[in-house]
């Protein structure tokens, strides 16, 4: 895992622009604290920050290949989980390798198959390839968008990077937001429309896409997408296929030259992956280290609700003992969560989900002390249709993203004139209809089945990208790599067409996954009902964000004041609104981040 940055300008020589390129890579140093590299020649300047995971000596970047007097230069972030097979295939095609890195395999795959190389990759990746032979830049991003890639284009110039802050480090890029960006922040946030980066004139390469850019032509190609077809496998075959895919992808993702650990919440997803990984570790007489998160006073203040059915820690202990892991539980107090609230925002360059994101960042920071790589159960709920909304008619019938139903974003706190100008409800419906237009329908499905497929598409293509962004930035902010086996595109393709009733076999969410984990987990763990990511129940946290928000509305220099109805927000911050504490906490979390974001990035509001 690494951070990449690049600058192509077809109208000028960039050879002497090393200082500007370094500013771009320095901005993302946290993504690659182990090494840095740059290459500048002619119209191209490529930079790299490296987090060493595989082949410490051979994976230096940018990596170059000489073709007569022309250079093909690569800057790359990610992992190719099938690079050993690709390497052997390329050797048979007379390619010669001087390293053991997947970086060199990616470069030679491009040399062999040109832009079609992406059809051969299984992994998580974002890369830029400058081909002097064609005076062409290629940008590529993995199937599900696990690794980020942003860009901006102006006249003959394109800038790209792993994070928005790399682009903002260039003097030609300004931090500006217009009405569309504000609609994203206050209507969809912390999710966002694929391809959008909120900042004006900054975009992201969409998941499953690549771009080619020359001085004359600029093309975007979708090389991977979900395809709907009838699922013909019976239940036993389906379970066996899922188990086989998970075993294969976990085994591939255990490959690392640095210490690897696993996240363990005691829930089905992380427990199953931990069990598979633990079995592989045991084959080599090694013990898998695992980590979980908890909060001070959590047991005393816990109350069961719609999202949280029980405490994680007893289940964590149960799984750790069953698998035989070396487990560490990291405990945080409310004060630490409040103190670090703005750090994930700075990691994402955008406001996020506050406390939940903060605790994740702090967990990775602790895990980094002992390891460089971790496995995570992220995305299982999205690809296995595990959320309760999938069987609730109100959500199936909604004409808006299900997570926004009965919420409507945070547009309610906007100033009246701005609220009218943005028209958030219409913006939300517009973005929903765009997503719906992409949906690959399947003829012959019942009305309910079609609606469940529709919801599945929304979660995979709109909700999951946020979850992956959150995990990537929170981990890479600490120079820590997190792998997500449930995002293997082969598994996602297969699951996409499994009927919802089969996914929920045995009358329980993700029932088909529970069957796949039979033999790996005890039955009580396999049958534990879904419980959401934990959060603190300590009143001190709510009191902390309330006090912080009051200080913001009391400060006339606070940039958010020109956007919000101050008295409405003050009422919420003082605890005098009708909102339940959980909703007030989430809203204040977000508004504090929006204010910090506007301030930190000195954003110009152009509306």
In the numeric block, which tokens belong to residue 142? 């993995």
Decide: 130 and 40 in contact? Cβ < 8 Å.
no
Q: How many residues are recorded in the chain?
A: 607
Residue 550 makes CB contacts below 8 A (sequence gap 6+) with 570, 573, 574
H or E element: which one contains 50?
Answer: strand 44-50
Farthest CA pair distance, the chain = 73
Which H, E and C letters describe 185-221, residue by residue?
A: HHHHCCCCCCCECCCCCCEECCCCEEEEECCCCEEEE
Tell whether 293 is in a known binding site.
yes
Residue 486 per-residue DSSP state:
G
Q: Is 233 helix (H, G, I), strand (E, B) or coil?
A: coil
Which is it for the CA torsion 295, 297, 302, 306, positive or negative? negative
Name the helix (H) or strand (E) containing 546: helix 539-554
377 marked as binding residue: yes
CB neighbours of 409 closer than 8 A, spacing ≥ 6? 186, 187, 188, 189, 424, 428
Residue 366: C-alpha distances to residues 362, 363, 370, 391, 428 (Å): 6, 5, 8, 38, 38
Give the Cα separation of 187 and 193 in Å (integer): 11
CA pair distance 255, 250, nearest whole angstrom: 9
Strands (E), 452-595: 481-483
DSSP lists the bridge partners of residue 128 as 75, 139
For 151, residues 6+ apart whose C-beta sits below 8 A from its C-beta are 139, 158, 159, 160, 161, 167, 202, 203, 204, 205, 211
Q: Are strands 260-263 and 289-295 parallel, antiparallel or unpaired?
A: parallel
C-alpha triplet 292, 298, 299: angle, nearest 5° = 100
Residue for token pair 């480090």: 169
Say whether 487 is catalytic.
no
Active-site residue (options: 2, 124, 455, 552): 2
Tokens of residue 510, six digits: 């993700």
Cα 387 to Cα 156, 444, 529: the distances in Å are 46, 24, 11
Q: Which two tokens stand for residue 482?
A: 């997190």
Mapped to the 3 state alphabet, what secondary structure does 330-347 carry? EEECHHHHHHCCCHHHHH
Question: How far is it, in rounded angstroms, from Cα 2 to Cα 29?
Answer: 9
**Rounded to whole angstroms, how far apart are CA atoms 12 and 14?**
6
Contact 584, 542 (CB under 8 A): yes
How far apart CA 221 and CA 195 sit, in angstroms, is 13
d(CA 178, CA 176): 7
How many whole angstroms separate alpha carbon 582 and alpha carbon 41?
54
* Alpha-helical regions (H) of 34-125: 83-92, 102-113
Residues with catalytic annotation? 2
Q: Which amino acids are annotated as binding site for ATP, given as ranges?
A: 293, 376-377
Q: Which amino acids are annotated as binding site, given as ranges?
A: 102, 293, 376-377
Q: Which amino acids are annotated as binding site for L-glutamine, given as ranges?
A: 102
């Amino acid at each position: 895992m690494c951070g990449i940055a690049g600058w192509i300008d077809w109208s000028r020589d960039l050879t002497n622009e090393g200082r500007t390129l370094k500013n771009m890579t320095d901005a993302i140093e946290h993504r690659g604290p182990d090494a840095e590299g740059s290459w500048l020649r002619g119209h191209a300047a490529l930079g790299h920050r490296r987090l060493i995971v595989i082949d410490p000596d051979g994976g230096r970047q940018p990596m170059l290949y000489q073709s007569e007097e022309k250079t093909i230069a690569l800057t790359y972030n990610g992992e190719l989980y099938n690079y050993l097979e690709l390497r052997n295939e390329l050797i048979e095609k007379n390619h010669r390798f001087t390293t053991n890195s997947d970086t060199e395999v990616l470069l030679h795959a491009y040399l062999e198959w040109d832009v079609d190389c992406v059809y051969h990759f299984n992994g998580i990746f974002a890369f830029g390839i400058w081909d002097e032979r064609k005076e062409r830049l290629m940008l590529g991003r993995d199937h599900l968008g696990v690794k980020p890639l942003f860009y901006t284009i102006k006249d003959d110039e394109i800038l790209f990077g792993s994070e928005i802050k790399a682009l903002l480090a260039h003097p030609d890029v300004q931090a500006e937001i217009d009405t569309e960006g504000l609609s994203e922040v206050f209507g969809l946030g912390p999710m966002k429309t694929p391809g959008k980066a909120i900042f004006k004139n900054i975009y992201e390469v969409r998941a499953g896409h690549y771009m080619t850019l020359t001085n004359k032509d600029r093309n975007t190609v979708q090389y991977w997408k979900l395809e709907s077809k009838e699922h013909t496998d019976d239940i036993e075959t389906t379970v066996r296929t899922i188990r086989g895919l998970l075993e294969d992808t976990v085994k591939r993702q255990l490959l690392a030259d640095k210490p690897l650990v696993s996240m363990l919440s005691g829930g089905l997803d992380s427990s199953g992956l931990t069990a598979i990984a633990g079995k592989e570790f045991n084959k080599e007489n090694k013990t898998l280290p695992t980590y979980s998160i908890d909060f001070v006073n959590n047991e005393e203040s816990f109350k069961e609700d719609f999202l949280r059915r029980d405490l994680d820690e007893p289940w964590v202990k149960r799984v750790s003992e069953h698998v035989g892991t070396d487990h560490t539980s990291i405990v945080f107090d409310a004060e630490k969560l409040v103190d670090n609230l703005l750090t994930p925002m700075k990691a994402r360059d955008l406001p996020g989900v506050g406390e939940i994101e903060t605790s994740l960042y702090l967990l990775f920071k602790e895990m980094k002390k002992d390891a460089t790589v971790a496995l995570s159960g992220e995305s299982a709920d999205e690809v296995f249709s595990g959320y309760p909304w999938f069987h609730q008619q109100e959500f199936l019938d909604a004409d808006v993203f299900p997570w926004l139903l009965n919420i409507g974003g945070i547009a309610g706190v906007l100033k009246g004139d701005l609220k009218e100008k943005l028209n958030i409800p219409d913006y939300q419906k517009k973005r929903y209809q765009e997503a719906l237009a992409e949906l690959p329908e399947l003829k012959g499905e019942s009305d309910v089945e079609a609606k469940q497929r529709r919801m599945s598409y929304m979660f995979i293509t709109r909700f999951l990208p946020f979850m992956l962004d959150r995990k990537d930035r929170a981990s890479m902010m600490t120079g820590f790599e997190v792998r997500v086996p449930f995002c293997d595109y082969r598994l996602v393709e297969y699951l996409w067409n499994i009927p919802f009733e089969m996914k929920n076999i045995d009358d329980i969410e993700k029932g088909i996954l529970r069957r796949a984990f039979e033999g790996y987990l005890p039955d009580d763990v396999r049958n534990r009902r879904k419980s959401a990511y934990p959060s603190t129940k300590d009143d001190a946290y709510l009191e902390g964000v309330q006090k912080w928000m009051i200080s913001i509305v009391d400060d006339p220099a606070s940039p958010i004041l020109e956007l919000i109805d101050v008295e409405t927000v003050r009422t919420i911050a003082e605890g005098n609104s009708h909102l339940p504490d959980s909703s007030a906490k989430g809203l204040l979390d977000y508004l504090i981040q929006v204010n910090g974001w506007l301030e930190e990035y000195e954003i110009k509001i152009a509306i």
